[in-house]
């Protein structure tokens, strides 16, 4: 029998705010333990949480970028449980009336446009971080109360690769929107994976198994690559799966049972009495809507369509947003968008890396690269000279035309001048002349090289080749 | 809810409280009384009244995203029964 997997993902991302969700402590990674804490995020008695405006805006913005809806009424609830990293013994989250509902993430998988529907994206708070020692554990509450967005997908995913592609697409969108930095190394993104299998064609879902707290996308993919065949094997052997929570053991490369349904939590959600409901106004939503940006996939498709760029170039401009924006700011000045893209991607990027500078440090005007492309395409300079000109333009800020003039680099296309260099090259290299006449085509390239050398690289190489050939054959 | 419908053992488990059988009986009866008051509210006719999450007629209360001073580390740790390496030490967490 053939089986299929049904996967849903709950992705948690830390929002990019300066301060925490309910208090003014810094939302900052890497500070010494328990230094960004106050009575509110330590859960001391008698405190009152107050929502961070920017976190509310970023949540709504995420809802818009994920093509969801922003309900006109949302509230916070308490999710009750005991765990040392949760000082209040409840987590403030959104239960039945979240800040965003519905939505979708679109991405390419094996070259095909794929869509995963979202159930909701709701706002909650992160918990402290645990450290485990031999006989005890330690807790750092710097992370407690950091705004956390939980994005819940519908069970639309069917494979480990699809889950991986979805997570990456989601991350790209959130980074684009400035919603989260999504830095995995800093634990800014974590996800829970829900996966079940069923015989192909069967309507009812199989027993759902949850894999908790994956802190890398490749880990989530590996866990699914292990877990899906494991479940199928149990069923094929006539076994039964029970609903349970499992943990991914990255070292052993397996999932392990954590708890079964009998031990399931009873969170006793109820409305958070310390926080007032949110009723987004038209004006507030309009303000958030101004921050909506073009999504990565749309940007890629537009770069390919509008500038006729190949996939690789478009992807470079999607991944490096400032570079793409720079390209867009200069491309209108040229008739050769592809050549300008080559210069930006290959030469400009290399120079920036080499000099450890950014686009903000550029000394040359926005007209420089289109001008340089124009000089090459009109045959005024060779593409080799263009490299030299670009290096000078990059270093000094002088326009390519100025550099060409100053250094006398204008390509010589004048037949008389090139003929003179050709004659010199022929006279100085009788052996090569002989070789060419004996049928060795490569000898012509050598002679052409000599002409370029004699002309200090200024001879039009195509013209030089033509003239040499005429002279040798004549 | 009648007293015998309250699973006192389960509620005690959720609250991580260990109760003797005598305490279970006593607290069960008290919880029943509390819920009895709530029962009284059911006598009210609430037809046409929207459920509410909050009794205060206020919405959209928030604060600007501004960093304010945190507690000093030593002040923050003052309540910690045990501490090491700047961390609140707790019995070993087993998942």
Query: Do A350 and A323 meet the contact criterion of CB atoms below 8 Å apart?
Result: no
Tell whether B79 is within 8 A of chain A (Cβ): yes
- Residue B2, pLDDT above cutoff 70: no
Across the interface, whether the CB atoms of A19 and B69 are under 8 A apart is answered no
The Cα–Cα gap between A349 and A353 comes to: 6
Selecting from B67, B79, B89 the residue whose C-beta is nearest the C-beta of A136 gives B89
Identify the pLDDT of residue A60: 98
Last residue of some domain: A254, A289, A324? A289
Size of interface A-B (CB pairs under 8 A): 128
Both tokens assigned to B29: 């009866």
Q: Mean pLDDT, to the nearest integer, of A52-71?
A: 98
- Residue A199, pLDDT above cutoff 60: yes
Last residue of some domain: A270, A289, A308? A289
Q: Which residues of A are less than 8 Å from B13 in CB distance?
A: none
Start-to-end CA span in chain B (Å): 34
Identify the pLDDT of residue A443: 87
Task: Verify that A439 and A309 share a domain, yes or no.
Answer: no
Tell whether B12 is within 8 A of chain A (Cβ): no
Q: Which residue of B has its CA nearest to A95?
A: B53
The Cα–Cα gap between A172 and A223 comes to: 22
Tell whether A46 is within 8 A of chain B (Cβ): no
Task: Verify that A81 and A96 share a domain, yes or no.
Answer: yes
B48-85 tens-digit pLDDT: 888 777 888 899 999 999 999 999 999 999 989 999 99
The Cα–Cα gap between A33 and A14 comes to: 18
Q: Which residue has the higher pLDDT, A450 or A345?
A: A345
Return the residue matching tokens 């509620």: B11
- Residue A178, pLDDT above cutoff 90: yes
Phi-psi group of B60: left, alpha or beta (phi > 0 → left; psi -120 to 50 → alpha; rest → beta): left
Identify the pLDDT of residue A305: 96
Identify the pLDDT of residue A167: 97
Task: Verify that A139 and A191 share a domain, yes or no.
Answer: yes
CATH numbers and ranges of domains, chain B: 3-41 (1.10.20)
Q: Which residue of B has its CA nearest to A50?
A: B62
Identify the pLDDT of residue A382: 83
Distance from CA of B45 to the nearest CA of A (A): 23
Q: Which residues of B are less than 8 Å from A33 in CB distance?
A: 85-87
- Residue B95, pLDDT above cutoff 80: no
Across the interface, whether the CB atoms of A26 and B70 are under 8 A apart is answered yes
Identify the pLDDT of residue A263: 53
Nearest to A410 by CA among A443, A386, A439: A386
- Residue A264, pLDDT above cutoff 70: no
- Residue A35, pLDDT above cutoff 90: yes
- Residue A285, pLDDT above cutoff 70: yes
HSE toward the beta carbon, residue A44, CA cutoff 13 A: 15
Share of chain A above pLDDT 70, in %: 99
Selecting from A32, A50, A132 the residue whose C-beta is nearest the C-beta of B62 gives A50
Task: Verify that A206 and A329 share a domain, yes or no.
Answer: no
pLDDT band for position B1 (cuts 50, 70, 90) = very low
Distance from CA of A20 to the nearest CA of B (A): 8
Indicate the range of A137-151, B24-38, B77-91 predicted with least confidence.
B24-38
- Mean pLDDT in chain A? 93
User: What letter would DSSP give residue A348?
Assistant: I
Q: What is the pTM of this model?
A: 0.82
Instruction: Indicate the helix (H) or strand (E) that contains A415.
Output: helix A415-428
The Cα–Cα gap between B27 and B11 comes to: 11
Q: Which long-range contacts (CB under 8 A, 24 or more apart) does B75-84 make?
A: B76/A34, B76/A35, B76/A37, B76/A38, B76/A42, B76/A141, B77/A34, B79/A44, B82/A136, B84/A138
Tell whether B90 is within 8 A of chain A (Cβ): yes
Task: Verify that A97 and A8 share a domain, yes or no.
Answer: yes
- Residue A149, pLDDT above cutoff 80: yes
Across the interface, whether the CB atoms of B63 and A52 are under 8 A apart is answered yes
Identify the pLDDT of residue A261: 52
Q: Which long-range contacts (CB under 8 A, 24 or more apart) does A77-80 make?
A: A77/A269, A77/A270, A77/A271, A77/A272, A78/A269, A78/A270, A78/A271, A78/A272, A79/A267, A79/A269, A80/A267, A80/A268, A80/A269, A80/B14
Tell whether B95 is within 8 A of chain A (Cβ): yes
Tell whether B38 is within 8 A of chain A (Cβ): no
Identify the pLDDT of residue B42: 85
Last residue of some domain: A242, A266, A289? A289
Task: Verify that A50 and A120 share a domain, yes or no.
Answer: yes
Task: Verify that A162 and A86 share a domain, yes or no.
Answer: yes
Identify the pLDDT of residue A342: 96
The Cα–Cα gap between A103 and A145 comes to: 26
Q: Mean pLDDT, to the nearest integer, of A342-355?
A: 95
pLDDT band for position A6 (cuts 50, 70, 90) = very high
Query: Do B24 and B17 meet the contact criterion of CB atoms below 8 Å apart?
Result: no
Across the interface, whether the CB atoms of B86 and A33 are under 8 A apart is answered yes
CB atoms within 10 A of CB A209: 21
Indicate the range of A111-115, A345-349, A446-450 predicted with least confidence.
A446-450
Tell whether B81 is within 8 A of chain A (Cβ): no
Tell whether A47 is within 8 A of chain B (Cβ): no
Q: Which residue has the higher pLDDT, A156 or A380?
A: A156
Query: Do A40 and A22 meet the contact criterion of CB atoms below 8 Å apart?
Result: yes
Identify the pLDDT of residue A213: 85
The Cα–Cα gap between A189 and A15 comes to: 10
Tell whether A141 is within 8 A of chain B (Cβ): yes
Identify the pLDDT of residue B57: 84
Task: Verify that A381 and A422 share a domain, yes or no.
Answer: no
Across the interface, whether the CB atoms of A37 and B71 are under 8 A apart is answered yes
Nearest to A434 by CA among A444, A445, A422: A444
Mutate to test the interface with A, among B10, B17, B53, B72 (most CBs of A within 10 A): B53
Q: Which domain covers residue A127, as residue numbers? A: 3-289
Q: Which residue has the higher pLDDT, A213 or A42?
A: A42
The Cα–Cα gap between B94 and A165 comes to: 33
Tell whether A112 is within 8 A of chain B (Cβ): no
Tell whether B74 is within 8 A of chain A (Cβ): no
Nearest to B52 by CA among A300, A279, A439: A279
Tell whether A262 is within 8 A of chain B (Cβ): no
Task: Verify that A180 and A236 share a domain, yes or no.
Answer: yes
Interface of A with B in 180-209 (CB under 8 A): none
Q: Mean pLDDT, to the nearest integer, of A341-356?
A: 95
Q: Which residue of A has its CA nearest to B17?
A: A82
Collapsed DSSP state (helix, strand, coil) of residue A256: strand
Q: Which residue of B has its CA nearest to A41?
A: B70
Q: Which residues of B are less than 8 Å from A74 in CB distance?
A: none
Domain total in chain A: 3
Collapsed DSSP state (helix, strand, coil) of residue A315: helix
Q: Which residue of B has its CA nearest to A33?
A: B86
A218-251 tens-digit pLDDT: 999 999 999 999 999 999 999 999 888 899 998 8
Task: Verify that A95 and A233 share a domain, yes or no.
Answer: yes
Tell whether A19 is within 8 A of chain B (Cβ): yes
Mutate to test the interface with B, among A72, A179, A277 (most CBs of B within 10 A): A277
Q: Which residue of B has its CA nearest to A275?
A: B61
Task: Verify that A403 and A419 share a domain, yes or no.
Answer: no
Identify the pLDDT of residue A385: 86
Task: Verify that A151 and A248 share a domain, yes or no.
Answer: yes
Q: Mean pLDDT, to the nearest integer, of A290-294?
A: 96
- Mean pLDDT in chain B? 88
Return the residue matching tokens 């209040």: A88
Helices (H) and strands (E) in chain B, counts: 3, 2
A270 contacts: CB under 8 Å, gap ≥ 6: A77, A78
């Amino acid at each position: 029998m053939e089986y299929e997997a049904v996967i849903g993902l709950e992705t948690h991302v830390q929002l990019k705010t300066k301060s925490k969700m309910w208090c003014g402590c810094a939302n900052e990674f890497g500070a010494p333990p328990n230094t960004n804490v106050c009575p509110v995020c330590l859960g001391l008695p008698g405190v009152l949480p107050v929502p961070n405006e920017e976190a509310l805006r970023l949540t709504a913005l995420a809802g818009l970028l994920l093509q969801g809806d922003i309900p006109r009424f949302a509230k916070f609830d308490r999710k009750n449980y005991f765990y040392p990293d949760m000082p209040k013994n409840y987590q403030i989250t959104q239960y039945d009336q979240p800040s965003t509902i519905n939505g979708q993430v679109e991405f390419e998988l094996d070259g095909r446009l794929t869509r995963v529907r979202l159930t909701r994206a709701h706002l909650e708070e992160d918990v402290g971080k645990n450290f485990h020692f031999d006989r005890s554990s330690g807790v750092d509450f710097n992370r407690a109360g950091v705004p956390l967005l939980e994005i819940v997908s519908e069970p639309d995913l069917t494979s480990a690769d699809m889950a991986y592609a979805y997570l990456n697409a989601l991350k790209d969108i959130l980074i684009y929107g400035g919603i989260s930095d999504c830095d995995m190394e800093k634990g800014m993104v974590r996800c829970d994976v829900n996966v079940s299998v069923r015989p192909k064609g069967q309507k009812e879902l199989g027993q759902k198994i949850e894999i908790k707290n994956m802190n890398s996308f490749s880990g989530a993919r590996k866990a699914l690559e292990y877990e899906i065949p494991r479940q199928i094997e149990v069923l094929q052997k006539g076994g039964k799966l029970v609903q349970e929570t499992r943990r991914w053991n990255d070292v052993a490369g397996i999932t392990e049972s954590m708890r079964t349904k009998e031990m399931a939590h009873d969170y006793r959600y109820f409305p958070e009495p310390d926080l007032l409901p949110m009723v987004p106004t038209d004006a507030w939503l309009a303000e958030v809507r101004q921050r909506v940006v073009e999504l990565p996939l749309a940007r890629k498709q537009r770069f390919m369509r509008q500038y006729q760029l190949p996939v690789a170039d478009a992807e470079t401009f999607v991944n490096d947003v400032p570079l793409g924006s720079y390209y867009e700011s200069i491309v209108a000045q040229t008739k050769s968008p592809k050549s300008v893209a080559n210069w930006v991607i290959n030469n400009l990027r290399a120079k920036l890396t080499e000099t450890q500078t950014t686009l903000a440090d550029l000394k040359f005007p926005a007209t420089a690269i289109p001008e340089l492309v124009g000089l090459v395409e009109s045959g005024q300079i060779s593409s080799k000279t263009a490299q030299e000109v670009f290096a000078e333009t990059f270093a000094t800020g002088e326009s390519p035309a100025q550099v060409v003039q100053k250094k006398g680099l204008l390509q010589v296309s004048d037949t008389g001048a090139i003929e003179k260099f050709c004659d010199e090259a022929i006279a100085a290299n009788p052996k090569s002349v002989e070789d060419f006449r004996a049928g060795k085509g490569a000898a012509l390239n050598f002679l052409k090289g000599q002409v370029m050398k004699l002309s200090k690289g200024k001879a039009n190489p195509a013209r030089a080749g033509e003239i040499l050939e005429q002279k040798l054959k004549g | 809810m009648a007293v015998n419908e309250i699973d006192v053992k389960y509620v005690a488990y959720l609250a991580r409280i260990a109760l003797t059988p005598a305490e279970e009986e006593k607290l069960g009866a008290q919880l029943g009384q509390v819920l009895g008051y709530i029962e009284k509210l059911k006598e009210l006719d609430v037809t046409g009244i929207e459920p509410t999450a909050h009794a205060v007629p206020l919405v959209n209360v928030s604060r600007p995203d501004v960093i304010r001073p945190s507690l000093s580390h030593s002040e923050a740790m003052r309540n910690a029964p045990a501490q090491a390496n700047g961390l609140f030490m707790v019995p070993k967490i087993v998942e």
